[in-house]
Amino acid sequence: MSKDKYSRKFCVAPMMGYTTPHARKLYRILSQKTFLFTEMIAASTMLHSKTKDLIIENDLQNPIALQVGGSNINDLGICAKIAKSYNYDEINLNVGCPSKAVQKGSFGACLMQDKKLVRACLETMQNASDIEVTMKCRIGLGNDLNYDYFSAFIDEIVQSGINIIYVHARNAILNGISPKGNRSIPRLNYEFVTKIKKEHPHVQFILNGGIDSLDKAYALSKEHDGVMLGRLIQNNPFCLGKVDKLFFSFKSEKNLNKKIILDYFNYIKPKIGNDSIFRLLSPLLQIFFGIPDSKKLKTEIHQQIKDQEIDNLESLFLQFINLQKKAILS
């Protein structure tokens, strides 16, 4: 059984450069129930970086998991303690990232080649702290789908005692294609996840990969323990305003409105000077996703970012909300 009380029916995937502390704050304003993830943070960064407080910070964004990348057993045990001390609900071991940089560090998807090491890492992390320890992986490596390989890997992993596994339902191809290509070129196979669940009914398997709409996510959540979405949220984070009603039976959706903008600006204003305005505002810039004739306003916003005019920026975003309301009513 899972140690915590949180549902993982709907999760936002860890995404480098996107699930930053600032983006997660916006996600939490939009949805109370979505289970959030940090970007992958290397174990060495957690242990040695002088700016680790800024990188690891958790500004009341629970429920949330910290995803760590590493393969040094002792270091990962310390990371579990650190995650607990920063009030994370979960620490998740990355066994799914196929990038060359991650492979050089001997972690990510290449760890699927050493299932006993992964098991040892997970056992050590659990022994080090009472935080929930989980794993995110692929369904295999290389070009060929092989259920026996995936099943043997999971058989070893569940012996570590973990109860939650996030599965990107594609193979990872470690050579010849980019991380971006690895998100689309290897073919999806949700059936592997369905089948492994039958073999390990006590484990939660959260499905990830190719879920490109909330309707598809909802349908799949009926067939699986939960779903994890990445690119849809990256492109249009404001769809999270629909999640609590659709997945968790809240009475109403959180539509894009002035309060969301004001709440987010109240969050970023005290941080100006410690971080760039562009980084602080980056999550909000996706507000224009799919909106026609927004180029002029976007250009003006980028100019105000250059000029460091935070109050003008707040006014521009509020102006955009007013324009959208008028468009809906007309």
**Which pTM was predicted?**
0.94
- Where do the domains of the chain lie? 10-248, 258-329
pLDDT of residue 100: 79
| Residues of the chain scoring pLDDT < 70 | 1-4, 325-330
List, in sequence order, the alpha helices (H) in the chain. Answer: 21-30, 43-48, 52-56, 73-85, 100-104, 115-128, 147-158, 179-182, 190-199, 214-221, 231-235, 243-248, 258-268, 277-281, 295-306, 310-329
From 97, 110, 121, 137, active-site residue? 97
- What is the per-residue pLDDT for 215? 97
140-151, pLDDT tens digit by residue?
Answer: 999 999 999 999
Q: What is the pLDDT of residues 26-56, one digit of tens each?
A: 999 999 999 999 999 999 999 998 887 878 8
What pLDDT score was predicted for residue 144?
93
How confident is the model at residue 274, as a pLDDT? 85
Q: Does the annotation mark 97 as catalytic?
A: yes
Assess if CATH 3.40.50.2300 describes domain 10-248: no
Nearest 10 degrees: CA dihedral of 7, 13, 19, 21? 20
Q: In this predicted structure, what is the pLDDT of residue 68? A: 97
